[in-house]
Structure formats: structure tokens, C-alpha cells
Structure 1
Amino acid sequence: MSETNQVVVITGAGSGIGRASSLKFAANGDKVVLVDFNLQTGEETLKLVKEQGGEGIFVQANVANSEDVQNYVNKAVETYGRIDVFFNNAGVLQKMSMLADIEETELDRILSVNVKGVFLGMKYVLKVMEQQGNGVIINTASTAGIRSEHSLAVYSASKHAVVGLTKSAALEYVKKGIRVNAICPGGVDTTLTQAVPVMMQTSGYIPEELPNMRLGRFAQPEELAEVVTFLASPKNSYMTGSIVAVDGGLTL
């Protein structure tokens, strides 16, 4: 394995794509700063990183809280002196419901994490990267960010917002040595998505394409981690503002 020796901050590192990517970065020789709201799962990821010989720290944070975000950014810089890569990954899934039946509290919950959390992470990490004169940001959007999703109006809106933030930041910081891209997963086997079939049954809607996943299966988090680490690699020097669908052909 090639050792890139980057400092990588990962939000939502306690499970799913975040955990798989944390382990992949660490295996590549990168130092990882693991961020998650869940103390137990975040520390579990750090334990796994260290068991495979990796180096990192864990910082508990609510990504929608400005003080918490500034704290994990500051901890990364205090510990390792810089931030080379930011995997802005933390997110939550909406309870499936028709738009008119969505409660305002659900709207606030989704937008707080999926939009405000992504915005705050970029806001404070970009300041560090701008001072360095380089850096890479990868945001986690969704296939719901590039098309509509039935019974997920607020979630879809939040992920469209992530796409918009990604493109805007890529444009604004392209001359400052900072690349910003986004991944759009679709059908990944994670704790977050394992609840989806039950929610579909409750809502009474099952997408017509779901039984016919074009690759015949959901993705494993490790497959997304391969894409994330590629986007973060110094060898991938000419991509910015790209919205990368990693969905097994779901959106074709």
C-alpha cells in the first residue's frame, strides 16, 4: 500500500461509509481525525484503526453545532498541524412521508444535520485549507441529490443543497489550491439504510426500480471508501466540482 501521509478529517466516522473510509485512509498511511455524535461507535472506529496499525484521534461532535465544528477542526490542527482532506460525510435520513404530512420538527432535524452540518464543516475547514494553500473536500450527497425521491422530499432537498454547496465551493476556491467534489451513493448496505425497507412498507410506497437494482445488489461501504480515497488522492489532481454517482446504475 502506498503511504500518502495525509491528515484526514472524517465526519460520521462511527459507522457505514464513514467507518469504512476511515479504515481505508488509515490503511493507506494517513492520519485520521474521526468525528461522530455517537461516542461509542466513534471510539469503536478509532479502536479498529489502531488495531490495524493506523494513527488517529476521535472527537465527539454535533456537526450542526458551530462550537463543536470549530472544536474538531482545531483539534485536528493542534494534533497534526494541518488538514489535507476533509470527508464531510455525516448525515441523517428522513422518515418517509408525503410532503404535506412532514412535521416541521422533521424538516428542522434533516436540514440541521444534512445542510447546516455540511456548511459549517466546509466553512471552518476551508479557512484552514486556504491558509495552507491546498486541500481536498469530499461531501456526501446522495442519488436523492441528483433526482427526486418519492416520500423523501426534505431529504432530497437537503442533498440537492449539498450538491449546490459543493459546486459553489469548487468554483470559489479553485484558484486557491482546493478541490471540492461530492459522492452520490445509492443503495449502500449501512445501518442508516437498513431501516429503509420497513419505512417503505409503512409509507406504502416501494420504488419501481428497487427490485431491479441494475447490479443486482446494494453496495458495500468499502466500495464507497475506494471512491472516496481516490477522490482524496494527490494523483486525482484534475477533478473539482464533480458530482460522482456511485449507485450501481440506479440513476440511469
Structure 2
Amino acid sequence: MARMLEGKSIIITGAASGIGRAAARLFAEAGARLLICDWNKAGVDETADMVRQAGGEVGTMQVDVSDEAQVKALTEKGVELYGHLDGAYNNAGVQMLNKLTQDLTLDDWHKVNGVNAVGIFLCVKHEIAAMRKSGRGAIVNTASANGVVAQAYSTEYVASKHAVIGITRGAASEAIETGVRVNCVLPGMINTPMIVDLVNNPEFRPHYDSALARHTVGRFGEPEDVAYVARFLLSDQAAFMNAAAVAVDGGYTAR
């Protein structure tokens, strides 16, 4: 079971820290050959060093997932490195801006949706094109618990994460033609640098206790909590899972 990704070539986006870094470590331990990327070159190089020190095989790229040319180059490099592409974990994302809807600018909207929604679309588009050449593959996207519920001061973020679920299910419905399964994970609040920044934002502090209370297991999540589920969804053990939106949220969306 620990080698459930043995020999599979997998792309991970947003791998400089947090969930993406945990995924790189866990996927490599499971036997995957990785191509990891992030806009943060120093962070993704550090993640790669961790993977190599543990005996894993990994390549790196600096990528802005909102730029189609860069995403296309990413998938091409994955095929170049390993001969084919078996899977992808599209994890890159940016956080909410903690503004009322009336205070959001159009630039704010594009800043968040350009990465969280457009970036996921571009990755899925080019990954499927690469995978269908070998007739099979699996993709996992990081959405959010706020892809199925909502909270104040985050309209741009909530919209972007609802879009991720839509992209996932739209692409998954074409699996009969592409051979590519597409699922997504819905994390609650996870102890990543993004959430630390959010919690430390004075605009968010009044909402901290209520956010924690909605996680009915009594804590926020750890990056590995999400990475374990993504690893399973990319494996052949999840071969009958397609278009699923899997909550990894400590009960956040249950009430």
C-alpha cells in the first residue's frame, strides 16, 4: 500500500510549501516520479532537495499557472522527463483577500480567480491532452470547503473554489473519451503558510473562534491530511472514483 504510486509520473503544482510540499514527500515515498513547480523558485527547490534526500526522483520548474504558455511547457517537460504523464495534483492557489464584496476591485477578482480558477482550468486542459496520448491518467485538483459553502469577506475566493469543482466535474464527464479521471479535494483550514497569514490578518481575527468551531474534530488540519487523500485519488485503488469532490475538512461542511 505504501508504494501505491510506484513508477507513476506525476506533476504537482504549488509545491513550494504546505499541502504541495507534503504531497511531494508522500507521493515520492509511494514510488512516484515527480515534476514539481511553483512561482516560488526557492521554495520549490527546497522541496525538491527534501525529496531527493529521501531517495525520490524529482524535477522542478518555476511556473505561474495563470500563464497558459508556462502551463503547456510544464506538461511538455513532464512528458520529456519520464516519457509520459500518469497523473497530476493541481494544488496551486492563493488565499482570500478579506474584503467585503462591495470593496472588491476587478483587479482583486482577477488576482484570485486568475490562479485559483483559470490556473486549474489551464492545468487540467494541458494535462488531459498529454495523458490521453497513453489512454489513461488521473488528476486531482485542490478546491476548498468553501467550494460548497461560503463565508463573509471572501466572495472572490468562494467563487474561485466553486469554479474548481465545476472544472473538475466538467472534465471528469469526458473520461469515457479521454481515459482520464478527474477528482478534487476540499480542504478545510489547514496549517499552511497561507492559513497562518490569514489567521494573523487583523480583519480575520474576529472570525477565528467560529472557524475553529466548525471543524468538529476540534482542530485545523495538517498538510499531510490532504496529501494522503490526494495520493489515494491518484492511485489505481481509486480507479472507480471520478468527478468526486472529497471533503478533507474536519467536519467543516457538515454544519
Identify the TM-score tier after normalising by the shorter chain.
Answer: over 0.9
Query: Shift in Å at residue 207 of structure 1?
Result: 6.2
Q: Mind listing any 5+ residue stretches in structure 2 that lack a counterpart?
A: none
Q: What does residue 210 of structure 1 align with?
A: 211
TM-score if structure 1 supplies the norm length?
0.96
Structure 2 equivalent of residue 110 of structure 1: 112
Amino acid at match of 1:210: A
Aligned match of 1:26: 28
Judge which range, 33-42 or 174-183, deviates more.
174-183
Q: Please, what TM-score do these two structures have when normalized by structure 2?
A: 0.95
* CA shift digits 1:11-56 (9 cap, x unpaired): 0011111010011011111100001100000000000000000001
* 1:32–1:57 CA contact under 8 A, matched in 2: yes
How far apart, CA to CA, are the structure 2 residues paired with 1:110 and 1:16?
18
| 1:140 corresponding residue in structure 2 | 142
Gaps (5+ residues) in structure 1?
Answer: none
| Matched positions, count | 251
Q: 1:171 to 1:143 in 2, by over 3 A?
A: same
One-letter code aligned to 1:220: E
**SS class of match (1:34):** strand
Superposition pairs of residues 1-252 of structure 1, within 5 angstroms: 1-2=2-3, 4-199=6-201, 201-202=202-203, 205-206=206-207, 209-212=210-213, 213-252=215-254
Distance 2:205 2:16 in 1: 31
The amino acid across from 2:121 in the alignment is: F
String of CA shifts for 1:44-89, please: whole Å, max 9, x gaps: 0000000000001001111011111111111111110111111011
**Preserved contact between residue 26 and residue 49 of structure 1 (Cα < 8 Å):** yes
Bigger CA drift: 27-36 or 169-178?
169-178
Over aligned residue pairs, what C-alpha RMSD do you find? 1.4
C-alpha contact 1:62 1:68 (8 A) present in aligned 2: yes
Asked whether the equivalents of residues 97 and 203 of structure 1 are also in contact (C-alpha less than 8 Å), the reply is: no
Note if contact 2:140-2:182 (Cα within 8 Å) is conserved in structure 1: yes
